[in-house]
Structure 1
Amino acid sequence: MSKKKTTEPVGCLAVLLKLVGIDLGRIPTDKTLPFHLRDNFLSPAELSFYHVLLQSIRGEYTVCSKVNLSDVFFVSRPNENQGYRNKIDRKHVDFLLCDSKTMQPLLGIELDDASHAKKKRQERDQFVDQVFAAAGLPILHVPATRGYNVSELSEIIRSSLQSKKTVPRTPRVLNGERFCPKCQIPMVQRIASKGMKKGQSFWGCANYPECRETVWGDDSSAV
């Protein structure tokens, strides 16, 4: 007498995936996944500059490397500007100096090697520079060399940090509607759910949490 073959219930997602050729029962285990640790996260030139950079900032800032631009910047009105979002999605900045307490980005640093002399790379660099300028975040280009002057680099970084633009924090009011001073889009009225101002009304940017601009009550100045 043959035994009746039993099968486990299959979820709707599994059924849909099978229709497009994906069988959940055939997903490889961790031991067979084709992933390996890269040995060249930083190139020799980037690693050399990284250590010089640490000496130059003397522990005043936190250094992040190979940061995706979409982790630093956001696109206002994303439904209308999806193309711009796509243009930064696969681009990164070599190094990013951040405030050690808040991790707020302060300065982008690009290490320019011989590849930056190519026309396509120059076009890419020009666009990245425009992105940083539009967001009011300075970017510094450092030519890649075999040696660096720590004191000179420190002074250049300090000068670049001083060039950081301050975004005006006074919201524009038009026909009774407040516009975010940072994103220039209409703000949304909300009620604080916690903190010392719990229960109070305030205006917040519709791009929250990417933008945290707020205006409390009927005040016309952002805090």
Structure 2
Amino acid sequence: GLELNPIVPQAAITDQLCDSWDEKYIKILTQIAFAHQIHIDYLQATLLIGDARNLILQVHESGFQADAIFLDPFSPPQCPQLWTVEFIQKVSECLHQNGLLATYSCAAAVRTALLAAGLVVSSTPPIGRRTPGTIAGHPKHGEESTISSLPPLSQAEAEHLRTRAAIPYRDPSLSDTAAMILKRRQEEIQVSTLESSSQWRKRWRR
């Protein structure tokens, strides 16, 4: 589910999960975990605690533009609230035109949502897992951008986005429960005429 408990980042410090790190970084993380912000010569950071669907609206209204975003919620079936077309659209609007968004997920539904937000999508090499991650950025017209220098999706990956697995999660009001979001997607899958992901796998395993 959504992490709303401010005790969680504090527990990472008190339980000494960062003790193998350089002391300088432990001090920074301790300050952020307990005070929720830090302002020093080389770093200004704020930790926002709450439902990200509400907080992203505040971030967007502030005009903040990120150079890099790491989208790292629990998996879509576990936390669909933060993988919806609507949420990712708001996240993309907080990404600088030259910025990059990265996520561990290569789920077709996630990539569809990124594309729906107007982003260009590429794969990252697998790190600590068999499947690749995803990196995305705004398309740039007239000159090279970081995302345009990355390889496009493979043919298999592109075709995966034309299967039922690519039907995205939706949360029009940015307030629905996980159960409602999952049910809405399942209903859309049931009436879809798109190829099934199992058929797609069979074609690419031949």
Q: TM-score range by the shorter chain?
A: under 0.3
- The TM-score, its normalising length taken from structure 1, stands at 0.26
More strand by share: 1
- The TM-score, its normalising length taken from structure 2, stands at 0.27
More helix by share: 2
Tell me which of the two structures has the higher relative contact order, counting C-alpha pairs closer than 8 angstroms and 6 or more residues apart. Answer: 2
